[in-house]
Amino acid sequence: MNKPSGSQAQVLRSNGLKVTLPRLKVLEIFEKSEKRHLTAEEVFKELLASDAEIGLATVYRILMQFVEAGMLHKSTFDAGKAVFELNRGHHHDHLVCVRCGKVEEFFDEAIETRQQEIARQHGFRLVDHAMALYGLCSDPACQAAGMPAAPLAQ
């Protein structure tokens, strides 16, 4: 196993968490992953591949601690499957492929402004929001599969 960096320990401390090897290893996976959105099972598989002896229940517990501390964002897209991503301090929305599960991030100022306007029209003051758009990604296999049986109404 690689020795976790001092900066990872500092990140945990600054978020009010005790520095433990399992927490360091999970944080390291998110920092080094090429994928931004990881399921608990994917984190667990990465830990197994690195010979870390951390159980799946511990992974779930650490992920929820990281969410509560504001270090991770948790999103639930299709069929209730949760994905986690590092909180990098900026808002974004998601495009989700209904065939392969690929998730892409985007930010659009016009959409953000319109959401604020709609909230005001209904007497709401937004404190947070999440938007996910579902469709088929650009992968030829996904495009060839066509739309699912019950596409969203236009």
Instruction: Read off the CATH number of the domain in which 104 is found.
Output: 3.30.1490.190
Q: 58 and 8 in one domain?
A: yes
Q: 118 and 50 in one domain?
A: no
Is 104 part of a structural domain of the chain?
A: yes
Could you say which DSSP state residue 151 is in?
P
Q: 83 and 16 in one domain?
A: yes
Is 37 part of a structural domain of the chain?
A: yes
Q: C-alpha angle 33/38/40, rounded to 5°?
A: 120
pTM of the model: 0.74
The CATH number of residue 57's host domain is: 1.10.10.10
Mean pLDDT of 6-20: 88
| Cβ proximity of 134 and 78 under 8 Å | yes
Alpha helices in 33-108 (DSSP H): 40-49, 56-68
Give the pLDDT score at 148. 63
Q: 94 and 84 in one domain?
A: no
Q: What's the domain range around 37?
A: 1-88
The 10s digit of each residue's pLDDT in 100-118 is: 888 888 999 999 999 999 9
Q: 42 and 13 in one domain?
A: yes
Q: 80 and 4 in one domain?
A: yes
Q: What sign does the CA torsion over 36, 84, 91, 4 have? A: negative
Percent of the chain scoring above 90 in pLDDT: 55
Is 152 part of a structural domain of the chain?
A: no
Percent of the chain scoring above 70 in pLDDT: 89
| Residue 4 in this model has a pLDDT that exceeds 50 | no
Query: What domain count does the chain have?
Result: 2
Tokens representing residue 141 in the block: 């296999």
Q: 76 and 109 in one domain?
A: no
Q: 116 and 59 in one domain?
A: no
Is 130 part of a structural domain of the chain?
A: yes
Is 151 part of a structural domain of the chain?
A: no
Residue 75: CB partners within 8 Å, gap ≥ 6?
37, 82, 83, 84, 85, 94, 130, 132
Q: 59 and 97 in one domain?
A: no
User: Distances from the Cα of 141 to the Cαs of 97, 99, 102, 123, 144, in angstroms?
Assistant: 11, 9, 12, 44, 5
Q: C-alpha angle 131/137/138, rounded to 5°?
A: 140
Q: How far apart are CA 41 and CA 25, in angstroms?
A: 14
